[in-house]
Amino acid sequence: MARRPFVAGNWKMNGLIASLTELEAIAGKAGAVADAIDVAICPPATLVAPAVAQVAGSVLKIGGQDCHAKASGAHTGDISAESLKDIGATCVIVGHSERRTDHAESDATVHAKAQAAWRAGLIAIICVGETEAERDDGRTLDVIGRQLSGSVPDAATAANTVVAYEPVWAIGTGRTPTNEEIVEVHGFMRKALAARLGAAVAGGIRLLYGGSVKPSNADVILKLADVDGALVGGASLKAGDFLPIIDAAR
Ligand code: PEP
C-alpha neighbours within 13 Å on the C-beta side of residue 51: 30
Whether the per-residue pLDDT at 21 is higher than 80: the answer is yes
pLDDT at 2 over 90: no
Report whether pLDDT(206) > 90. yes
Q: How far apart are CA 240 and CA 233, in angstroms?
A: 14
CB atoms within 10 A of CB 4: 14
Confidence of residue 67 (pLDDT cuts 50, 70, 90): very high
Task: Tell whether the model's pLDDT for residue 7 goes beyond 90.
Answer: yes
How much distance in Å is there from the Cα of 74 to the middle of ligand 1? Answer: 31
List helix spans (H) across 33-106: 45-54, 81-86, 97-102
Q: Do the Cβ atoms of 224 and 249 come closer than 8 Å?
A: no
The binding site for substrate comprises 10-12, 172, 212, 233-234
Pocket flag, ligand 1, residue 211 (CB < 6 Å): yes
**CA–centroid distance, residue 169 to ligand 1 (Å):** 10
Q: Quote the pLDDT of residue 110.
A: 99
Cα(172) to centroid(ligand 1), Å: 5
Instruction: Give the span between the Cα atoms of 105 and 94, in whole angstroms.
Output: 10
| Catalytically active residues, by annotation | 96, 166
Q: What is the ipTM of this complex?
A: 0.98
Position 1 confidence tier, pLDDT thresholds 50, 70, 90: low
Q: What is the mean pLDDT of residues 16-22?
A: 98
Residues 151-177: tens digit of each pLDDT: 999 999 999 999 999 999 999 999 999
Residue ID of nearest Cα to ligand 1 atom 2: 233
- Taking the C-alpha atoms of residue 114 and residue 66, their distance in angstroms, rounded to an integer, is 10
Measured between alpha carbons, how far is residue 112 from residues 3, 31, 184 in Å?
A: 26, 33, 28
Q: For the chain, first and last CA: distance in Å?
A: 16
CA of 173 to the centre of ligand 1 (A): 9
Q: Which residues contact 32 (CB under 8 A, 6 or more apart)?
A: none
Q: Tell whether ligand 1 has an atom less than 6 A from the beta carbon of residue 246.
A: no
Mean of the per-residue pLDDT values of the chain:
98
Gap between the Cα atoms of 102 and 218, Å rounded: 28
Q: Is the pLDDT of residue 59 over 90?
A: yes
pLDDT digits (tens, 9 = 90+) for 116-147: 999 999 999 999 999 999 999 999 999 999 99
pLDDT in tens, 78-96: 999 999 999 999 999 999 9
CATH level 3 topology of 63-200+223-228: TIM Barrel (3.20.20)
Question: Pick from 64, 57, 24, 88: which is nearest to 243 by CA?
Answer: 24
Ligand 1 within 6 A of CB of 9: no
For residue 164, which atom of ligand 1 is closest to its CA? 3
Residue of 96, 101, 173, 213 to test ligand 1 pocket, by largest number of atoms within 8 Å of CB: 213
Q: Is 234 in the pocket of ligand 1 (CB under 6 A)?
A: yes
